[in-house]
Amino acid sequence: MNPTQDASHGRRRYERKHVLLAGRLLRGEDTVPCLVTDISANGARIMLDRCPGGDRFGALHIDRFGLFTGEVRWSGDGSAGIRFLDRPKTVAAAVAAVLPFTGMGEALTDAA
């Protein structure tokens, strides 16, 4: 995956891949089940019933991938945007190992 600009937002560094993966958003002592609807080397969009309270920092556990530290950048209308604090190369490697068809393995050479 090559770093790319999103034409509609002009601020995406890494291409997002559409997925449907079960996960959990953890913030403070609160954990909420979620569905990961897209993922990139530096973030994810999730669907959830409610955003857990606590600090904006937390973690996103994605079944089959593991735990990624992150920051809730926005939330509303049953979804939220997570920016990963883990290195993009680490995230890309975890995703490519389980879902090689996403092309995220290419990010291993492009991600910092």
Q: Is residue 7 part of a domain?
A: no
User: In this model, does residue 67 exceed pLDDT 70?
Assistant: yes
Q: Is residue 59 part of a domain?
A: yes
User: In this model, does residue 71 exceed pLDDT 50?
Assistant: yes
* pLDDT tens digits, 12-40: 678 888 899 999 999 888 899 999 999 99
* pLDDT tens digits, 41-56: 999 999 999 887 767 8
> pTM for the complete prediction?
0.79
CB atoms within 10 A of CB 17: 17
User: In this model, does residue 112 exceed pLDDT 80?
Assistant: no
Q: Is residue 109 part of a domain?
A: no
Q: Is residue 111 part of a domain?
A: no
C-beta separation of 48 from 25 below 8 A: yes
Domain containing residue 52: CATH number? 2.40.10.220
Q: Is residue 105 part of a domain?
A: no
C-beta separation of 83 from 64 below 8 A: no
User: The domain containing residue 50 runs over which residues?
Assistant: 17-98
Q: Is residue 107 part of a domain?
A: no
User: In this model, does residue 110 exceed pLDDT 70?
Assistant: no
